[in-house]
Chains A and B, each alone.
Chain A
Amino acid sequence: SQKIEQNSEALNIQEGKTATLTCNYTNYSPAYLQWYRQDPGRGPVFLLLIRENEKEKRKERLKVTFDTTLKQSLFHITASQPADSATYLCAPPTTGANNLFFGTGTRLTVIP
């Protein structure tokens, strides 16, 4: 069955540095992958979508890569700020592609 692993439960970085979050998937090859942000007490918010034929996608300080050979997506936040502190969820589609399969998330804390 499909499996999603996000690199760690928690990541602490200094303000101004680049945060890199990892999403590894096994047992299938998704056609795309979405990333969401979730703040405490709130529902997830969509950030970026990357398709299998796209190597990289950018939005302001965010960058996502998709390596179908390594079966991995990397999510980068450059010039990180304390306001970027949140849990980030990786979500490829399920094998039936009708809905999403969410990873457990990585909790990012940006230290001032």
Chain B
Amino acid sequence: EAGVAQSPRYKIIEKRQSVAFWCNPISGHATLYWYQQILGQGPKLLIQFQNNGVVDDSQLPKDRFSAERLKGVDSTLKIQPAKLEDSAVYLCASSLLTGGPYEQYFGPGTRLTVT
């Protein structure tokens, strides 16, 4: 079974520029998550989708971050404009369903450096 795919793997941008990350979850997984992981910390949830609807975006900085999952499959996370503190690894994960003890499958992440 193919895993969670993410691209790009690395991105370097200057502050105030915009950037987009793409994620393709495991086939058949209804739930998709975007996490931000700052060096030395655990993953922090940014947004969670169930099919193409948002379940939780309470920690998403909505003034600069946006995400969509239009057809309930792949997803895009965008940052515009980027700040220095956005430098982190952005992880995408998927699970079969939501609201229960379902294990999450993570992609390799995108390492973003904002200069």
Q: Does A pair with B?
A: yes
A residues in contact (CB < 8 Å) with B: 9, 31-32, 34, 41-46, 49, 51, 89, 91, 93, 96-105
A sample of 8 cross-chain residue pairs with beta-carbon separation below 8 angstroms, ordered by A number, consists of A31-B101, A42-B106, A49-B101, A89-B42, A93-B101, A96-B56, A99-B45, A100-B104
Contact A46 B109 (CB under 8 A): no
Chain A CB within 10 A, most for which of B55, B56, B104, B109:
B104
CB pair B106 A45 closer than 8 Å: yes
> Which A residues are in CB contact (< 8 Å) with B93?
43
Tell whether, in the assembled complex, residue A42 and residue B98 are in contact, meaning their CB atoms are under 8 Å apart.
no
CA–CA, A46 and B104, complex, Å:
7
CB distance from A5 to the nearest CB of B (A): 11
Please pick, from A31, A46, A93, A104, the residue contacting B40 in the complex, using a CB distance under 8 A: A104
The complex places the Cα of A8 from the Cα of B103 at a distance, in Å, of 24
Cβ B103 vs Cβ A46 within 8 A: yes
Given contacts A99-B33, A103-B42, A104-B42, contact A32 B98 (CB under 8 A): no
A104 and B113 alpha carbons, distance in the complex (Å): 21
A96 vs chain B, min Cβ distance (A): 7
A34 adjacent to B56 (CB under 8 Å)? no
> Taking beta carbons and an 8 Å cutoff, which residues of B are in contact with A?
4, 33, 35, 40-45, 48, 55-56, 91, 93, 98-101, 103-109
Instruction: Return the contact of B103 from the options A9, A34, A97, A102 (Cβ within 8 A).
Output: A34
Closest to B45 in A: A99
Min Cβ gap A56→B in Å is: 17
Q: Given A34-B103, A49-B101, A97-B99, A43–B108 Cβ distance below 8 Å? A: yes
A-side contacts of B107, CB under 8 Å: 43
Please judge, given known A-B contacts A41-B108, A43-B91, whether A99 and B98 are in contact too, CB under 8 Å.
yes
> Nearest chain B CB to A66's CB is how many angstroms away?
12
State A45–B55 Cα separation when bound (angstroms). 23
Q: B100 — nearest CB in chain A belongs to which residue?
A: A97
Bound-complex Cα distance A108 to B45 (A): 24
